[in-house]
Structure 1
Amino acid sequence: MLALYQFEASTYAEKVRLILDYKQLPYQKVDVTPGVGQVEVFQMSGQRQVPVLKDGDQIIPDSTAIALHLERTYPDRPILPTDPKQRGLCLALESWADEAIVPNARKVMIGAFKQHPNFRTALLPTATPDLLRNLVGALPGDILNLVGTGVGFGPDDIKVAATALKQDLDALCLMLENSPYLLGNQPTLADFAVAAATMYLKFPDRQYVDLPEGICGKGVPGLADVPEYQAVFDWRDRLYGEFRTPRTDVPPPSASSASGPTPISID
């Protein structure tokens, strides 16, 4: 069976999981512990990043390389167009998602994370001890802003990222205006890459990913709740509903988490 070495909340791992589900390929998830667990990944693949796919004797790092390997090795339900121009557009859109949307989405999510303690604690794993949860929630936003400044996650960096994402969402709305998928009537690698990239802007409305209770359907205000961008999230949720396999081991939501994190502003 295929084995995917991953971080559960990684958008790049989510891109691969979407493709595996679309191609209806059974696989085993191997959750990698940051730091210690990455030693094993390095020994196996010669680098420390995830996702890494183990397919028999083959070890494939990098989500794009994994996608292309899956397309070559398991050609049923293809994810690359046969037309050269469409194929080129597909690869360009995948690169755009990976290199532009994901880094900026990470910045605005961290901006939301920094500004409101309820959002901060909602993103912690369910098993986090109360002492640590309370400590994370009590950290002042100004302190977190100070830490982020100079390393690409200060307030100005987050505002620049938000502006870029608004343009990206406008572009996606135009692409989807008269089309069920980004490149026509069939989903491609471009759809799965962009859909995964939007996870940090608005989490899927069901527990497809092992994330804390109450986070489903929540997103970054000013982006996830703008009516003009709703077409993007409707397309993303439809793609998930059609092709992504939801988790079956989800516990019922507790009363304390039913309301989810409090919406906040990134200004």
Structure 2
Amino acid sequence: MTILFYDLVGSDAARPFSPHCWKVAMALEHKGLDYRAVLKRLVEVPEIEGGVSKTIPVIRDGDKVIPDSFAIALYLEEAYPEQPSLFEGPGGMAHARFIERWSQLTLHPYISVAALTALHAMQDDENAAYFRKSREARFGRPLEEVTASRDASLSGFRASLEPLRSMLSYQPWIGGEQPLFADYIVFGALQWARIATPYQLLEAADPVAEWFERCLDLHGGKGRSIAAAA
């Protein structure tokens, strides 16, 4: 049975950009499951599956509807144990949960600033109005002022990646010898930035950038199938 995967797009339906949806897309590819993306804009999210969640991703697998990227990964692991594992056991699940919190508290705050005006520009008129109103309420100032601060914080952002940089000197993937859901968590954040803005978050020689390039090639180049912002 084909899994329905609700994914987020702006005015261009060919450019899904949500970091959380990218985690799930990579997890579905990793598991080798048959799925179909159902594309939604920001203002349409509350209508998905009768309002099951205020955010996406959401999947429907038969009669089961699951919101939240981590919950979806856990569901896929349990429902399809014969397919390649996303966690390689309870320790991997705990490890991935730590990586998720680290990504949310370290990567997302800076990327949301650096890409903010670009993400706004990706929306159609109705969604752009919603995006501006909701994000300016969150940041307490105009979008343009928020993004203008990104240069001053770039070096600090790059320095914050040192734990990941150091770990990658010991192993090729966050998951160890092979990519796991923990890799897709961090990949999703950096793919969000890559699709939204040409602003260079990482230096080309950074081991994190090299790891990210390898992630783009996974699963037949799933991540690279969407061109980087120009």
Per the alignment, residue 13 of structure 2 pairs with none
Matches within 5 A, 1:198-217: 198-203=190-195
- Per-residue deviation at 1:83? 6.2
Q: Is the alpha carbon distance of 1:64 and 1:148 closer, same or farther for their aligned partners in structure 2, counting shifts above 3 Å?
A: closer
Matches within 5 A, 1:98-109: 98-109=104-115
TM-score calculated relative to the size of structure 1: 0.65
* RMSD of aligned Cα (Å): 3.6
Q: Is the Cα contact below 8 Å between 2:108 and 2:189 reproduced in 1?
A: yes
Distance 1:225 1:161 in 2: 15
Q: Which of 75, 87, 102 is matched with 1:96 structurally?
A: 102
Q: Identity of aligned pairs, percent? A: 22
* Uncovered stretches (5+) of structure 1, i.e. residues with no partner: 115-119, 137-145, 204-214, 254-259, 262-267
Q: Please give the secondary structure, in 2, of the residue aligned with 1:91.
A: helix
Q: Is the alpha carbon distance of 1:152 and 1:199 closer, same or farther for their aligned partners in structure 2, counting shifts above 3 Å?
A: farther
Distance 1:159 1:88 in 2: 34
Distance 1:56 1:245 in 2: 28
2:203 maps to a residue whose letter is D
Matches within 5 A, 1:112-261: 113=118, 124=122, 150-151=140-141, 154=146, 158=150, 162-203=154-195, 219-221=198-200, 223-225=201-203, 227=205, 229=206, 231-243=207-219, 245-246=221-222, 261=230
Q: From the two aligned structures, give the one with the greater helix fraction.
A: 2
- Per-residue deviation at 1:80? 0.9
Distance 1:202 1:160 in 2: 20
- Per-residue deviation at 1:196? 1.0
Q: Is the Cα contact below 8 Å between 1:105 and 1:161 reproduced in 2?
A: no
Per the alignment, residue 51 of structure 1 pairs with 57
Q: Please give the secondary structure, in 2, of the residue aligned with 1:202.
A: helix
- Per-residue deviation at 1:246? 3.7
Distance 2:142 2:162 in 1: 24
Q: Which of 80, 84, 95 is matched with 2:87 structurally?
A: 80
Q: Is the Cα contact below 8 Å between 1:182 and 1:190 reproduced in 2?
A: yes
Of structures 1 and 2, the larger Rg is shown by: 1
2:219 maps to a residue whose letter is F
Per the alignment, residue 131 of structure 2 pairs with none
Distance 1:201 1:104 in 2: 10
1:233 maps to a residue whose letter is A
TM-score calculated relative to the size of structure 2: 0.75
Distance 1:169 1:219 in 2: 19
- Per-residue deviation at 1:95? 2.4
